[in-house]
């Protein structure tokens, strides 16, 4: 049996990996161990997603919390190390760009092959810890599964071996196929008139908002800019707020605009039911802009830069940089552009719904064929070195 340890730690990891987990679980040649780092641990950030998405409970819970990123990362590494040592898997798999992926250091120390899902994305915004984490794990990985040719090129430009980067397309399309398109009737039933009445919302006449990114929460300027923007919203804003954001808003003692209804984070079924019935999403989330592009809902993206430009390419999203005084000046114009998107149609090019399958097939083939150790294929690195130093190497 091929022994695979998959380590995840936050809400969107469960969403993005949902079909991969099911495919690996069902695979006759695979023994999957699902490890949860504990970065997210509340029911409404973890368990509700396991239930909503029909996922198995994690086999191992690391409970690697911490008051700072440094504490969390060191706890993930030190708690994952003995688990990997004992299980001695054929490969350690990580997804995304969070404190949890830094657990790859433990796999690297044990010389266990590393796989990074959602690799080679770059925002080129070095303020973001996520950008630093992605870069580190991509370069430690033996195999990187990436979404698009432009990401492949980014990896190759950084010196990664092209043979170790595999393009699969975006996993979110698979997830929405399984969880939304295959269950539309259930969603229609779930999003009943009472559902909206309970939340004092009119279907089609509100924005759904998320706001959690460090660079938008931890500085005063973006917080003030976002609240100023929201105070000009022509519609009600329903805001399931991350705990980090709630804490910061309380600490800053700022006034929340009257259009905004702030609630605790909600489950995936509820979130998607609100999303598809909203007039648009206002968000700094990477995943939410992709989901809205696929589901035909406009997004107003509160980010200076993104590692996922495809939503601008297909024109499903408008940009607001909360860290810049410049954008701060014209909220009405911005909402005008955002509202205008609803009258347009776009065709997203995020994927065909077979990304998870491509990944699992390639991973199993590499494990069975003995080619999982991408770092041992040093020819590419020698080629690069020769191109600089010459043949005397
Ligand atoms: N989401 C959710 N409930 C919420 C907020 C978000 O189910 O209250 C989902 C959303 O649909 C998306 C994912 O969580 O799939 C996004 O998570 P987040 O914004 O935390 O992470 P990011 O995508 O920025 O990594």
- Residues 333-364: pLDDT tens digits? 999 999 999 999 999 999 999 999 999 999 99
With tokens 């259009």, the residue in question is 259
Q: State the average pLDDT for the chain.
A: 94
In 10 A of CB 203, how many CB atoms? 15
Q: What angle do CA 119, 121, 122 make, to 5 degrees?
A: 140
Question: Has residue 390 got a pLDDT over 70?
Answer: no
- The pLDDT assigned to 380 comes to 62
Cα-to-centroid distance, 385 and ligand 1 (Å): 42
Share of the chain above pLDDT 90, in %: 87
Nearest Cα to 289, choosing from 187, 172, 188, 177? 172
Q: Which of 215, 288, 308 to mutate to test the pocket of ligand 1 (most atoms within 8 A of CB)?
A: 288
129 pLDDT above the threshold of 70: yes
| Ligand 1, pocket-test mutation among 285, 289, 305, most atoms within 8 A of CB | 285
E strand or H helix at 268: helix 268-276
- Contact status, residue 323 vs residue 316, Cβ threshold 8 Å: no
CA of 210 to the centre of ligand 1 (A): 8
Closest Cα partner for 100 from 47, 16, 35?
A: 35
Residues 261-286 pLDDT 10s: 999 999 999 999 999 999 999 999 99
Render the burial of 309-320: b for 16+ CB within 10 Å, e for the rest: ebbbeeebbbbb
Q: Quick one: DSSP state of residue 376?
A: G
For range 308-326, the mean pLDDT: 89
More confident residue, 107 or 43: 107
Distance 133 CA to ligand 1 centre (A): 19
Give the pair of three-digit tokens for residue 209.
């908002």
Distance 29 CA to ligand 1 centre (A): 32
Query: Under DSSP, is residue 294 helix (H, G, I), strand (E, B) or coil?
Result: helix
Q: Are 100 and 8 in contact (CB under 8 A)?
A: yes
Angle (CA) 159-164-165 rounded to 5° is 80
* Contact present, 155 and 146 (Cβ < 8 Å): yes
Ligand 1 shell residues, CB under 6 Å? 11-12, 15, 210, 212, 240, 265-266, 268, 271, 285-288, 291
Mean pLDDT within 140-148: 97
């Amino acid at each position: 049996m091929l022994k695979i340890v998959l380590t995840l730690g936050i809400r969107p990891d469960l969403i993005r990996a949902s079909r991969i987990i099911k495919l690996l679980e069902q695979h006759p040649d695979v023994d999957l161990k699902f490890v949860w780092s504990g970065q997210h641990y509340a029911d409404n950030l973890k368990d509700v997603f396991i239930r909503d998405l029909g996922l198995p409970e994690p086999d191992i819970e690391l409970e690697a919390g911490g008051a700072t990123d440094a504490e969390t990362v060191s706890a993930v590494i030190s708690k994952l190390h003995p688990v990997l040592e004992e299980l001695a898997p054929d490969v350690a798999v990580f997804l995304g760009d969070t404190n949890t992926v830094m657990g790859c250091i433990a796999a690297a120390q044990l010389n266990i092959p590393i796989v990074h899902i959602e690799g080679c994305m770059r925002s080129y915004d070095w303020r973001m810890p996520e950008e630093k984490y992605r870069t580190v794990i991509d370069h430690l990985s033996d195999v990187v599964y990436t979404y698009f040719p432009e990401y492949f090129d980014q990896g190759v430009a950084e010196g990664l071996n092209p043979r170790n980067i595999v393009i699969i397309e975006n996993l979110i399309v698979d997830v929405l196929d399984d969880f939304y398109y295959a269950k539309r009737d259930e969603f229609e039933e779930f999003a009943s008139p009472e559902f909206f009445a309970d939340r004092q919302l009119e279907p089609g006449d509100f924005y759904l908002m998320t706001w959690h990114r460090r660079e938008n929460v931890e500085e005063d300027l973006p917080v003030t800019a976002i609240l100023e923007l929201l105070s000009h919203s022509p519609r009600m804003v329903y805001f399931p707020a991350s705990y980090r954001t709630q804490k910061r808003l309380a600490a800053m003692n700022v006034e929340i605009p009257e259009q905004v209804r702030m609630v605790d984070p909600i489950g995936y079924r509820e979130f998607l039911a609100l999303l598809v019935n909203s007039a648009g999403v206002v968000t700094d989330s990477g995943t939410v802009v992709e989901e809205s592009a696929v589901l035909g809902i406009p997004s107003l993206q509160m980010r200076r830069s993104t590692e996922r430009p495809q939503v601008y390419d297909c024109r499903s999203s408008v940009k607001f940089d909360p860290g810049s005084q410049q954008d701060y000046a014209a909220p009405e114009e911005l909402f005008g552009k955002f509202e205008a998107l609803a009258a347009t149609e776009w065709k997203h090019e995020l994927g065909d719904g077979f990304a998870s399958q491509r990944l699992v097939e390639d991973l199993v083939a590499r494990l069975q064929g003995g080619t999982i150790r991408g770092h041992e294929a040093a020819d590419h690195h020698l080629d690069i070195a020769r191109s600089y130093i010459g043949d005397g190497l």
